[in-house]
Structure formats: C-alpha cells, structure tokens
Structure 1
C-alpha cells in the first residue's frame, strides 16, 4: 500500500495519462538583425489571442484572450487581459512586469502563486511560475516573422514534472480592441 506522501503523485500520474509537454518546435529563422522578443514592445497596445486549451480528462476548449498593455510611470509594464472561454465565461487577469536585464524580466500575475520569471532567447520568451496547489506553468512564446504575431505554447505541470494541461495559442497585435463575441473565437 502506498505511503501517504506517494498518493498525490500517483493520483496525478493517473490523471496525466498520455498528455505530454509541448515538443520542442523550432523557432522560425530569424533574419540578421531581427529584434529579440521584447514583451513590453509586443504587448504594448491591443492584442488578441485565439487558442485551444487541452486539460487531461476534459474535451479541448477554445479560448480567446484580449489584452491591453502599457508602460507605467514607475517603470513597470502592465498587461490587462480578459480570458473568454467557449461557454462565454470570462476571467480578468493582470501582469505587471519589470525588466531586470536585457534578457530577464520578473513579474507578478493574478494567476501566479509568487514571482513570475521570464527570459528572452532571441525571438523567444520563456515564462515560468507556480500556480499553487502543486501546479506550475511553463510558457514558450515564439515571435513570428514581421513581429505582429506570436505563438504561445504553454504547459501546466503537476508536481513539477507531470503535464496536465496544454495551451496552443496564436496572439496577434491589433490596432484596436477586437472583442471575443459570444464566446471564445467567435
């Protein structure tokens, strides 16, 4: 019989089934001199993301994320987002980011339990944070040629290593607010 400390790990493993983390997708070729992924530049103004959330033991769900970001007087960058689910349910979340070095950011996020770290590697942005309850998030945003679109490949892990949810999202910069009418992706 498993010990009390092993039961949560076994239960999480049973829930994971065949869900795996995102495979390493190569970033698109970057022309010489192409800008690095800079979140406070990419997310400045309006953005709209459409994605599919795949949570173990549930049907995949469409999500739409509308965001507005701007620099703050204290030197931070604030990104307010509305996440709309396929059933019309909406959640508000806020990121507050601070650049620590040219390639490292720290942030807070309403969904995070503690500090968020983000690292830039060329045209990619890697974000990590704890969500509490033994869950953690790893995001990989890949800036696409032209700089107006990014792919967001995110995985939620239980107990640090067992993938329990994935998000594949395409984020577009927009000139104005483009709402999610009637549910995600409408």
Structure 2
C-alpha cells in the first residue's frame, strides 16, 4: 500500500516535476504532453502536479520559464469594453516589454523560436490553446483576426526591441499606443 502525505526528508518534488515536464514537452510537444504523463515520469500522483502548478498551461509556463502567465494576459485583454481592446493589448504588450524581469525572457524566447522549430511548435500550440482560443471564444472572433493582431504585435516587438529601429525604439509608450492601437482595434471591430 502506498504511503500518503508528504515524502519524508528534504523534497525536490517540484523540481522533479519541472524536469519531467520539460522532458514531456520536448518529446511530445505541448499538445501531446499530459499531466498524467508528467506525473508518471516524475514518479508522483497527478494530483501533486495540480497542487504545485494548477493546470497544464501553468506547468508549461513554469517548465519553459515563460515570463508571464497566459491567464493574466487573457484576463487583461478581456477586462473592459471591446471598443478599447486595441489600446489594452498594446499597453499590456508594451508594459511587459518594459519590465526587466519579463523583457530578457521575451528576448530569449523570440531568439529560441527563431532558431528552433521544436520550440516554435510548442509555443505555437500553447499560444493557440492557452490564449488565442480563449480570447476568440470569449469575443466570438474568428481566430484569423486574432492571429493577425498577434502578428502585428510580434512585428512591433521585432522592430522596437530586437532591431531597436529608430524612431520606434525611442518613441514613448503613448506615441506607440496612439499609432498601433487603432490598427489592432480594427481586428476586433468585425
């Protein structure tokens, strides 16, 4: 009979789950990895994975050390009137890139995606299920419109933060929001 409760002594359970999750995501991709598979590889009960991380999305965020929780992004996008969603998205995006604790990981992630088809596939599947599908369903919006908005924001990130092309790189957040938010808003005004 299996013992219940916490393992005796010093525990490395959380780190073991993260290592197993990285392995599972690498081998099976985001779509193929499961909480049960991660738990089995880590030698723990699936409930323990849920205890430490909550959901598969949150395990993925922790395993790949993503700089932001997708639930926070979805909630921020959906909070407020639809006619201001373009501005909310642009300001959220700019805010995330301004913070040192999220900027460096975002840069590393962009470079990894550009250089690794496996990482790109995992991130794409994750974004499709954890963010895009949820926002599209909540707003009754075709996913093509939403991915078009995302492509605009990725272009902004490349020009402003990776290439540091002037005058976009040194423009104020207000200037950028004034230019870009109306373009993003068009995707939501179906």
User: Which structure: greater helix fraction?
Assistant: 2
TM-score past 0.5 threshold = no
TM range (shorter): under 0.3
Instruction: Decide which structure has the larger Cα Rg and report it.
Output: 2
Q: TM-score, normalised by structure 2?
A: 0.24
Q: TM-score, normalised by structure 1?
A: 0.24
